Amino acid sequence: MRRSIATVSLSGSLADKLTAIGGAGFDGVEIFENDLLVSGLSPEDVRRRAADLGLAIELYQPFRDFEAVPPDVLADGLRRAEHKFAVMERLGATRMLVCSSVSPAAIDDDALAAGQLRLLAERAAEHGIRIAYEALAWGRHVSDYFHAWKIVRMADHPNLGLCLDSFHILARDVDPYAIRTIPGDKIFFLQLADAPALPMDVLHWSRHYRCFPGQGDLDVAGLVAEVLRTGYDGPLSLEVFNDIFRQAASMRTAQDAMRSLIALEEQVGVRAGASVTGLTSPPPPVVPSGFAFAELAAPTGALGGLLDALGFVRVGTHAGKPVELWQQGTARVLVNSGSAESPDGPALGAIGLESPDPAASVKRAEALLSPVLPRMRGPHDAPLDAVAAPDGTEVFFCRTARPDHPSWTDDFSENRRSADAAAGEITHIDHVALTQPWHHFDEASLFYRSVLGLRPHESLELPDPYGLMRSRAVSTEDGAVRVALNVAYVGAHDGSHDLAWQHVAFASRDIVATARRFRASGAEMLSIPANYYDDLEARYDLGAERRRLLRELNLLYDRDGQGEFLHFYTETTGRVFLEIVQRVGDYRGYGAVNAPVRLAAQHARPRRGSG
Amino acid sequence: MRRSIATVSLSGSLADKLTAIGGAGFDGVEIFENDLLVSGLSPEDVRRRAADLGLAIELYQPFRDFEAVPPDVLADGLRRAEHKFAVMERLGATRMLVCSSVSPAAIDDDALAAGQLRLLAERAAEHGIRIAYEALAWGRHVSDYFHAWKIVRMADHPNLGLCLDSFHILARDVDPYAIRTIPGDKIFFLQLADAPALPMDVLHWSRHYRCFPGQGDLDVAGLVAEVLRTGYDGPLSLEVFNDIFRQAASMRTAQDAMRSLIALEEQVGVRAGASVTGLTSPPPPVVPSGFAFAELAAPTGALGGLLDALGFVRVGTHAGKPVELWQQGTARVLVNSGSAESPDGPALGAIGLESPDPAASVKRAEALLSPVLPRMRGPHDAPLDAVAAPDGTEVFFCRTARPDHPSWTDDFSENRRSADAAAGEITHIDHVALTQPWHHFDEASLFYRSVLGLRPHESLELPDPYGLMRSRAVSTEDGAVRVALNVAYVGAHDGSHDLAWQHVAFASRDIVATARRFRASGAEMLSIPANYYDDLEARYDLGAERRRLLRELNLLYDRDGQGEFLHFYTETTGRVFLEIVQRVGDYRGYGAVNAPVRLAAQHARPRRGSG
């Protein structure tokens, strides 16, 4: 399929937008009228630039409030249209989007609408232009695609067809099933946008919160599958109005958009099966089976005490770099004192994921436009398969200590036999939590979903003392890999730099024992206020002994229909803190209900190791 | 009236919030449960701190999902309530908020709800506690105040009454008129919040967009007048959930909140007339009658060429400071080369407003908590009446060249007779536009409305190439003083500092002559792309001659039902640019439709004088 995007989806000048779109490998572009009007480029300039960048101008948009009006308004509409046709001829564009009218002047009369659209199509035909008529979700009389299709049928002119837009259809919960009744050659254009489920007026939602397919909650792939079954052979074209994308760097947004289309085509292929051809497909996702390690950049000795107190054992040292390997069960932590010191102190720099096929994992990531990291780091290192996540975290694909593949652990001299690492109660890494810059949250969400094949969970808002924090977890089906993506509020005050906290959560099979061990070693856990425990008593009848234990050990508690969750936190060092969790039964969450008390306690404490 | 605020309205720890609330002069506070739970302060600590700060704990809130449930759920609710009563006794709080249930377990049975609430009230009475029952706008079965009042009547217990909340009533467009049928002593509490008109689900709206009365679009004063007519003598208590206030500095938000209540009481007094007593009232607003001057901080010579090209004459020099006075008609510009150089180059530092009574203007501002600036600047200066606006702009109240008052112009030696300043076509300052920091927009809006008595116009969103800009104008009834308040998006890229642009717009009686004069002097106006003019032709039939003139002189054009608007811009110097406007007929706007082309053109130009 040809891939296209509307210029309104990106930030910057029209020249910047075209460059970004061309650079990301699109085949075509929709020129949003306002972008042209405010530009110093003439239509001829735009035409040349687009051609130089290998971009077809697929659509000029939008033309508004044309149909079903009294004669004098019609005359004005036709006059306006002639002006647009002239601009389009200069642009070399042959398709114009006409939105269903929102004007109070419009009359609820399908025959009138059809007659006037036919007139417009006749005029357009004289210029070799085709009209794509689109039902806006908030159109005055025409607000869904089968109504628009009825009018197009009535108008019956070869230069008049439909434009379908996934947002306008799915946002109003209109069933896309009937699309299959439309001949493919009468669908002149297909615009695509996703959106997160938000409870608001559809127009407000559309103007501010659209996002690229795969970043929201609409079933865009299902709709595209319907459209392709008709034989539609025009482009898949993204049209996104998003307050954040308007502010983000256009090159990066264009790449993100392209990633979205690649992932979308793959999903459409799955949905449509053999009935649709011409879809390109990246190598299949390689779902990780667990965490291999978490790598913390920290000065020597900064984290040793903490890890030791949790029962970790320093089992190895890297042969060529100042990196220590700490282990307990299959939970492995690398402490790298050689990486460039962050001004904020210790930070989570990389995660390792167990992959059935590391090379295939990288191929998948590369096909989805993730930056692949150099495979060889040092002359004696084992080869590495790694990519950079959108927030800069390095993601390594590993096969740890398997006979069929070199293991990254081979680079480490064995200080202690790894059997010794089984002394404590910690069994594995339960999850990692990564704070995303506010303008890369959607991109990150798509990365973890499309590149790693993780599934998104519910989107949450967590009240921090200094703002609302958005959080969304992604995980494998079986929960073996869980990543909590947080996005911090912008922060109007000096403490805003506190917001980039990251953490690694370890699963313990006996959190009480881990907490006791930790405390006995003299390490400090995050202290939880007494008021929390008083309230816990009001909420749950836990029994006196258990209550005492929770309070004594600063354990937080949650339960859901499937099980229970116990957790505690270490103090924060630099940007990083550690969490110990115990899942009882089939609890699936992350203790989000306790996030406010954790965040308040963290803000209340002076931080260690901070710059 | 006693004045109170809910802790959830502010950012920070509970201790910070109490300090800020006490510091702003409130009489009382609502303790939001979550703020207590996450705090290291015990309830006794909170009680002591509040007492030390002179704050009564007016309410503990909220208790949820209690009424109209099956027996086992009731038992759990009563158990929870006993826990809350114990906390309240420790706090010294005697009023508890109970929200109408949102639980799926709740049964639609008013008698059951009443019976169970009576039971709760009986238990509460044993602790000397009163229950204030509130209809949430999204309550499962009870969602408006008269339904809640019916249930309270049925329950008929002295310790059960109503909590009214302006948001829950006005957001659903429930008529507050029937409040007058409720006996004042059965209204146990009154919570106040305003909100801007936004098209979304009421719960989402409530959680993110509430603001202080006078900052939004709800008629809070009308509702309060109804409540006070009943004889209600509890506090006026603000309860605001706002994503931005959560991030802002709590001291400042608390001051803003207090300003809102002072202005609200004044409005309520106007609405309720003699039927309500006990309202305090600030000195009445003194509506300004025009602009006296705009003061630009700029190095000597930086702006002289520009002002000269527009036809301004340098009519005076300050006796004791490096300040030049430029004039044309009654438009006066001070160029101050003595103020601390801004790193961004020239900036708009102050505006002067003509006031019928400058001292009374200052008294009004002071009563509304605006910082009053020192009255004497230098030993020989005329006394100044001035306050600081929330964004730091100094606002001077002036009587220019009137026999009844010393004039600020007396400080200036006369270089040229001011009669000479009437050579050009510019007559006066039409408006100034001030960019507000994103977290002070609501505060600024309230300042201009309450302190200066200006009226808000429609809120707009203007697409800039790098984000959406929010804009709202405030003006006097007659348009003599107009201020456009813009709030910039945060900006994710390097050019974000561009956003703090300010401008001064001068009215010309013949914009074509002013533009010609300007251009003839060799000065550069902001160049408007040809595409804009091509499109203007499509939109309006202006005639060939007028079109040619607009295009030649970079004039922008708008019209509304009342008249026409022509305007052009100078290049930007530092943070400042100038605009020349001509209003034809009774056009009331600011040419907002042209803002995108102006913003794009400004981004496209290299800036002069920038740091």
Q: What are phi and psi of B50, to 5 degrees?
A: -60, -45
- Is residue B35 within 8 A of residue B20, CB to CB? The reply is no
- What does B105-167 look like in DSSP terms, one character per residue? T--S-HHHHHHHHHHHHHHHHHTT-EEEEE--TT-SS--SHHHHHHHHHHH--TTEEEEEEHH
In this prediction, residue B60 carries a pLDDT of: 98
B216: number of Cβ within 10 Å? 24
pLDDT tens digits along A293-335: 999 999 878 899 999 999 999 999 998 889 999 999 999 999 9
- Measured CA to CA, the distance from residue B573 to residue B557 in angstroms comes to 24
Mean pLDDT of B318-332: 93
Task: Give me the residues paired with residue A573 across strands.
Answer: A576, A608
pLDDT tens digits along B576-605: 999 999 999 999 999 999 999 999 999 988
- Percentage of residues in chain B having pLDDT higher than 90: 82
- Measured CA to CA, the distance from residue A91 to residue A281 in angstroms comes to 32
Closest CA to B375 of B351, B397, B354: B397
A239 annotated ligand binder: yes
Q: Let me know if the fold of B3-275 is the same as that of B290-604.
A: no
- Measured CA to CA, the distance from residue B294 to residue B287 in angstroms comes to 18
- What does A126-154 look like in DSSP terms, one character per residue? HTT-EEEEE--TT-SS--SHHHHHHHHHH
Among B34, B489, B529, beta carbon nearest to A463? B34
Helix (H, G, I), strand (E, B) or coil at B557: strand
> How many residues belong to chain A?
611
Among B208, B247, B604, beta carbon nearest to A490? B247
Give just the sign of the alpha carbon dihedral B153, B155, B161, B167. negative
Mean pLDDT of B566-580: 95
ipTM: 0.92
DSSP code, position A424: S
pLDDT tens digits along B498-541: 567 899 999 999 999 999 999 999 999 999 999 999 999 999 98
How big is the A-B interface in CB pairs under 8 Å? 165
- Is residue A140 within 8 A of residue A155, CB to CB? The reply is no
Residue A200: is it exposed, middle or buried by C-beta count within 10 angstroms (0-12/13-18/19+)? middle
Whether residue A607 has pLDDT greater than 60: no
Largest CA distance in chain B: 89
Helix (H, G, I), strand (E, B) or coil at B310: coil
Nearest chain B CA: its distance from A571 CA (Å): 16
Q: What are phi and psi of B258, to 5 degrees?
A: -65, -45
A204 annotated ligand binder: no
pLDDT tens digits along A261-300: 999 999 999 988 888 888 888 999 999 999 999 999 998 7
* Cβ neighbours for B360, distance < 8 A, ≥ 6 positions apart: B283, B286
Mean pLDDT of A16-26: 98
Six token digits for residue B26: 């409130």
- Is residue A65 within 8 A of residue A116, CB to CB? The reply is no
Whether residue B492 has pLDDT greater than 80: no
A273: number of Cβ within 10 Å? 10
Contact A42 B200 (CB under 8 A): no
Residue B586: is it exposed, middle or buried by C-beta count within 10 angstroms (0-12/13-18/19+)? exposed
DSSP code, position A592: G
A579 annotated ligand binder: yes
Mean pLDDT of B391-398: 94
Contact residues, A window 174-203, toward B, CB-based 8 Å cutoff: 198-201, 203
Whether residue A255 has pLDDT greater than 80: yes
Say if B542 is an interface residue toward chain A (CB within 8 Å).
no
Among A41, A83, A493, beta carbon nearest to B538? A83
**Could you tell me the pLDDT band of residue B606, with boundaries at 50, 70 and 90?**
low
Contact A246 B468 (CB under 8 A): yes
- Measured CA to CA, the distance from residue A598 to residue A224 in angstroms comes to 43
Could you list the beta-strand ranges (E) of A198-340: 236-238, 290-297, 313-318, 323-328, 331-336
b (16+ CB within 10 A) / e for B468-482:
bbbbbbbbbeeebbb
Whether residue A496 has pLDDT greater than 70: no
Give contacts of B80 with chain A, Cβ < 8 Å: 538-539
In this prediction, residue A611 carries a pLDDT of: 35
The CA-based angle A523-A526-A528, given to 5 degrees, is 135
Closest CA to A130 of A191, A50, A186: A186
A461 annotated ligand binder: no
In this prediction, residue B39 carries a pLDDT of: 97
Give just the sign of the alpha carbon dihedral A301, A302, A308, A311. negative
In this prediction, residue B501 carries a pLDDT of: 86
Name which residue leads in pLDDT, B251 or B498. Answer: B251
- What does B350-367 look like in DSSP terms, one character per residue? EEEEE-S-HHHHHHHHHH
pLDDT tens digits along B406-449: 899 988 987 666 556 567 899 999 999 998 888 888 999 999 99
Contact residues, B window 356-385, toward A, CB-based 8 Å cutoff: none
- Is residue A91 within 8 A of residue A48, CB to CB? The reply is no
Say if B38 is an interface residue toward chain A (CB within 8 Å).
yes
- Measured CA to CA, the distance from residue A220 to residue B208 in angstroms comes to 28
A442 annotated ligand binder: no
Domain B3-275, CATH number (from 3.20.20.150, 3.30.1390.10, 3.30.930.10, 3.30.420.40): 3.20.20.150
* Cβ neighbours for A368, distance < 8 A, ≥ 6 positions apart: A259, A262, A263, A282, A447, A450, A451
Mean pLDDT of A564-584: 96
- Measured CA to CA, the distance from residue A424 to residue A430 in angstroms comes to 16
* Cβ neighbours for B510, distance < 8 A, ≥ 6 positions apart: B425, B582
- Is residue A237 within 8 A of residue A191, CB to CB? The reply is yes
Whether residue A382 has pLDDT greater than 90: no
User: Residue B148 is which amino acid?
Assistant: A
Among B201, B492, B537, beta carbon nearest to A83? B537
- Percentage of residues in chain A having pLDDT higher than 70: 95
- Residue spans of the domains in chain B: they are 3-275, 290-604
b (16+ CB within 10 A) / e for A174-199:
bebeebeebeeeebbbbbbbbbbebe
In this prediction, residue A610 carries a pLDDT of: 39
**Strand order through the sheet with A467-475:** A455-464, A467-475, A482-487, A426-436, A502-508, A576-585, A563-569, A556-559
Highest-confidence range of A311-325, A341-355, A555-569, B396-410, by mean pLDDT?
A: A555-569
**Could you tell me the pLDDT band of residue A83, with boundaries at 50, 70 and 90?**
very high
**Could you tell me the pLDDT band of residue B609, with boundaries at 50, 70 and 90?**
very low
Six token digits for residue B176: 């507050």
- Percentage of residues in chain B having pLDDT higher than 70: 95
- Measured CA to CA, the distance from residue A321 to residue A340 in angstroms comes to 13
Closest CA to B17 of B63, B64, B59, B49: B49
Highest-confidence range of A108-122, A456-470, B381-395, by mean pLDDT?
A: A108-122
Name which residue leads in pLDDT, B231 or B419. Answer: B231
Helix (H, G, I), strand (E, B) or coil at A59: strand
Whether residue B169 has pLDDT greater than 70: yes
- Is residue B472 within 8 A of residue B478, CB to CB? The reply is no
Whether residue B611 has pLDDT greater than 70: no
Mean pLDDT of A598-602: 94
> Token match 């959930």: residue?
B241
> Token match 């792309």: residue?
B529
Best residue in A33, A36, A37 for a mutation probing chain B (most B CBs within 10 Å): A37
Contact residues, B window 215-274, toward A, CB-based 8 Å cutoff: 243-244, 246-249
Contact A493 B11 (CB under 8 A): yes
Largest CA distance in chain A: 89
Closest CA to B242 of B215, B208, B218: B208
In this prediction, residue B378 carries a pLDDT of: 65
- Is residue B576 within 8 A of residue B348, CB to CB? The reply is yes
- Is residue B178 within 8 A of residue B409, CB to CB? The reply is no
- State the DSSP H helix or E strand holding residue B9, giving kind and residue range, or none if neither: none
User: Residue B66 is which amino acid?
Assistant: F
Say if A606 is an interface residue toward chain B (CB within 8 Å).
no
Say if A596 is an interface residue toward chain B (CB within 8 Å).
yes
B443 annotated ligand binder: no
Domain B290-604, CATH number (from 3.40.190.10, 2.40.128.640, 3.90.480.20, 3.10.180.10): 3.10.180.10
Among A38, A201, A467, beta carbon nearest to B246? A467
Q: What are phi and psi of A583, to 5 degrees?
A: -95, 125
Contact A37 B198 (CB under 8 A): no
In this prediction, residue B563 carries a pLDDT of: 97
Task: Give me the residues paired with residue B473 across strands.
Answer: B484
Six token digits for residue A435: 């704070």
- Is residue B380 within 8 A of residue B338, CB to CB? The reply is no
In this prediction, residue A276 carries a pLDDT of: 85
